[in-house]
């Protein structure tokens, strides 16, 4: 079974946040003071998240990516992953994390069924990483990467490229793929917090490719099924891959296959769309059919495109931690 939105796009991917809490304070993700604390009663319980996942799988969602905040800070997450992995119709259960807790948790989450993770890593430099994350220790992430690979989890590294902050490290990240079996994804900086200098920080993907091409041959490669919108390349002989995600300079709205649901039950069919829907009431009814219908309405309301890159992009400022990464 599959479901299409009103523009004919097949929607089979759900980004599901299980917490708005995070142990880092990345500058492009949330304000320095963090986000306003949400009462625990307003965060979806694991039972509600599983009901949501079952309803999603029943209408054709094949991939669920768990996000946050930082999903690994939530207690009981390993047991939740075990239950999630048993849902019929769910083909891919993946996780996005900042990697700081993976050193201890990689093997338990692998045993629970997680085979792929994305790790947010915006600098290989201890100093720059601490500046971007407002105090994070990059050595914890390196330990997490090693632990994940040791547990046979496939690793992608998400790098938000910011001019004047970490764009000089693009070549160093590319070099990682030569010696490690990881995929590096360079992501264009987006204006979600609507910071005044976001255009100054933005580095178009074509500029990144041109930089890399000066020292490397970049061979186009085929993406994995349901792997997302990245343009994939490989350096001949490298163990890993490179990818570019271009929400600003070359948006992929025409092929967008996802919806996202925040930890408080707010559903968005477009990250930068103007509308959101509160699913908490229907989830707390416990009725699977009603949850299915609510999800179908979210998908049918998916807009044709966002307006990033325009002078007035038409969305309110938000923290990525609040909308599910």
Write out pLDDT tens, residues 189-230.
987 555 567 788 999 999 999 999 998 899 999 877 776 778
Q: Is residue 46 part of a domain?
A: yes
93-97, 124-128, 266-270, 309-313: least confidently modelled range: 309-313
Q: What is the pLDDT of residues 71-90, one digit of tens each?
A: 999 999 999 999 999 999 99
The residue segments making up the domain with residue 72 are 12-323
**Predicted structure pTM score:** 0.91
Two tokens at 320? 């990525």
Please report whether residue 257 resides in a domain: yes
Maximum C-alpha span of the chain: 58
Residue 4 lies in a domain: no
Q: Tally the domains of the chain.
A: 1
Within-domain flag for 172: yes
CATH code assigned at 57: 3.20.20.70
Q: How far is CA 147 from CA 54, 139, 189, in A?
A: 30, 12, 28
Q: 30 lies in a domain?
A: yes
Please check whether residue 62 lies inside any domain of the structure.
Answer: yes
In a domain, 83, yes or no: yes
Q: Is residue 312 part of a domain?
A: yes
Asked if 71 and 324 touch (Cβ cutoff 8 Å), the reply is no
Per residue in 44-57, pLDDT (tens digit) is 999 999 999 999 99
């Amino acid at each position: 079974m599959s479901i299409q939105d009103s523009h004919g796009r097949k929607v089979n991917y759900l980004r599901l946040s299980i917490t708005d809490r995070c142990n880092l304070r990345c500058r492009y993700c949330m304000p320095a003071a963090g986000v306003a604390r949400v009462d625990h009663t307003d965060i979806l319980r694991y039972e509600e998240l599983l009901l949501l996942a079952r309803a999603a799988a029943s209408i054709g969602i094949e991939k669920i990516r768990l996000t946050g905040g930082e999903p690994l800070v939530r207690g009981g997450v390993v047991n939740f992953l075990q239950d999630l992995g048993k849902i019929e119709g769910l083909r891919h259960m993946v996780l996005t994390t900042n990697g700081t807790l993976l050193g201890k948790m990689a093997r338990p989450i692998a045993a629970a069924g997680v085979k792929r993770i994305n790790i947010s890593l915006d600098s290989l430099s201890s100093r720059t990483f601490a500046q971007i994350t407002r105090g994070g220790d990059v050595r914890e992430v390196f330990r997490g990467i090693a632990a994940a690979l040791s547990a046979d989890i496939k690793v992608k590294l998400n790098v938000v490229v910011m001019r004047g902050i970490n764009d000089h490290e693009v070549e160093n990240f590319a070099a990682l793929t030569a010696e490690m079996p990881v995929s590096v994804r360079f992501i264009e900086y987006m204006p979600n917090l609507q910071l005044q200098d976001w255009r100054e920080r933005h580095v178009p993907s074509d500029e990144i490719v041109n930089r890399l091409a000066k020292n490397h041959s970049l061979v186009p490669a085929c993406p994995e099924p349901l792997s997302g919108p990245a343009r994939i390349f490989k350096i001949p002989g490298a163990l890993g891959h490179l990818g570019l995600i271009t929400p600003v300079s070359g948006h992929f709205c025409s092929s967008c296959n996802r919806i996202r649901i925040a930890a408080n039950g707010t559903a968005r069919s477009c990250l930068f769309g103007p509308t959101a829907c509160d699913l908490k009431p229907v989830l707390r009814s416990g009725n699977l059919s009603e949850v299915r219908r609510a999800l179908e309405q979210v998908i049918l309301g998916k807009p044709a495109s966002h307006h990033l890159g325009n002078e007035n992009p038409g969305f309110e400022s938000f923290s990525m931690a609040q909308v599910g990464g």
